[in-house]
Chains A and B, each alone.
Chain A
Amino acid sequence: GDSVTQMEGPVTLSEEAFLTINCTYTATGYPSLFWYVQYPGEGLQLLLKATKADDKGSNKGFEATYRKETTSFHLEKGSVQVSDSAVYFCALRLGTYKYIFGTGTRLKVLA
């Protein structure tokens, strides 16, 4: 069936380190892909998205490229900050409104 697989966390990095959070998906058809971020005690917020192959989504220094050939949408940031500490969710959307989320990856950035 359709699914999203994320790397298990927690991921612990020092400030200014490079971040990669892996995400791969299985889907019939051509999904749109998303990264959401959840800060402690809050709901999920859209971080970035890509709607077709080779699209790159970017926001707040984060970016991810829709790779159809590897069915991946890895999240990257060149230099993380303590304020980036949160849980990151990869998600796909099939059709108009069926979203499937990964289990989330917790990121902890140390000063």
Chain B
Amino acid sequence: DAGVIQSPRHEVTEMGQEVTLRCKPISGHDYLFWYRQTMMRGLELLIYFNNNVPIDDSGMPEDRFSAKMPNASFSTLKIQPSEPRDSAVYFCASSPSLSGNTIYFGEGSWLTVV
């Protein structure tokens, strides 16, 4: 059973460049989450989707961040323009639709903005 798949695993980019992170949730999971992990702030929920529709994006830090889910098997998190303070590990996670289920995390995308 394939888990949540994220790409790229590692990205180093220059300040001002656009960054796109990708996620393929577990098949059949109706919920998809994007989290950001930093040493200072720990694990923060950025946004989550239900059936491809964004439900809560209150954690998205600012307009430079955007997320889309064009279909049930793919989501992107885009940062444009990127800044050094965006350096973090970005996790995608997914969950089945039934209440009581847990969420399953991908291995993360390690972003460094220089």
Q: Do A and B come from one complex?
A: yes
- Are A102 and B42 in contact, CB atoms less than 8 angstroms apart? yes
- B57 CB to closest chain A CB, in angstroms? 13
Helix, strand, loop or mixed for chain B's interface? strand
A44 touching B100 in the complex, CB below 8 Å, given contacts A99-B45, A101-B43, A102-B42: no
- Are A43 and B91 in contact, CB atoms less than 8 angstroms apart? yes
Give the one of A34, A51, A101 with max B CB within 10 A: A101
User: Please, what's the 1-or-0 string for B75-114, where 1 marks a CB less than 8 Å from any CB in chain A?
Assistant: 0000000000000000101010001101111111000000
Flag whether B4 is at the interface (Cβ < 8 A): yes
Q: What residues of B have a CB within 8 angstroms of the CB of A89 in the complex?
A: 43
- Are B43 and A49 in contact, CB atoms less than 8 angstroms apart? no
| Closest chain A residue, CB of each to CB of B108 | A43
Number of interface residues of B (CB under 8 A): 24
- Are A45 and B31 in contact, CB atoms less than 8 angstroms apart? no
Flag whether B14 is at the interface (Cβ < 8 A): no
Flag whether A104 is at the interface (Cβ < 8 A): yes
Flag whether A42 is at the interface (Cβ < 8 A): yes
Q: What residues of A have a CB within 8 angstroms of the CB of B4 in the complex?
A: 43
- A53 CB to closest chain B CB, in angstroms? 16
Q: What residues of A have a CB within 8 angstroms of the CB of B48 in the complex?
A: 97
User: Please, what's the 1-or-0 string for A7-33, where 1 marks a CB less than 8 Å from any CB in chain B?
Assistant: 000000000000000000000000010
A96 touching B102 in the complex, CB below 8 Å, given contacts A43-B4, A43-B91, A43-B107: no
CA distance A49 to B31 in the complex (A): 19
Q: What are 15 inter-chain pairs, A to B, with CB distance below 8 A? A: A43-B91, A43-B105, A43-B107, A44-B93, A51-B100, A97-B31, A97-B48, A97-B50, A97-B55, A97-B95, A97-B103, A99-B33, A100-B45, A101-B42, A103-B41
Q: Which residues of A contact B (CB under 8 A)?
A: 32, 34, 36, 41-46, 49, 51, 89, 96-104
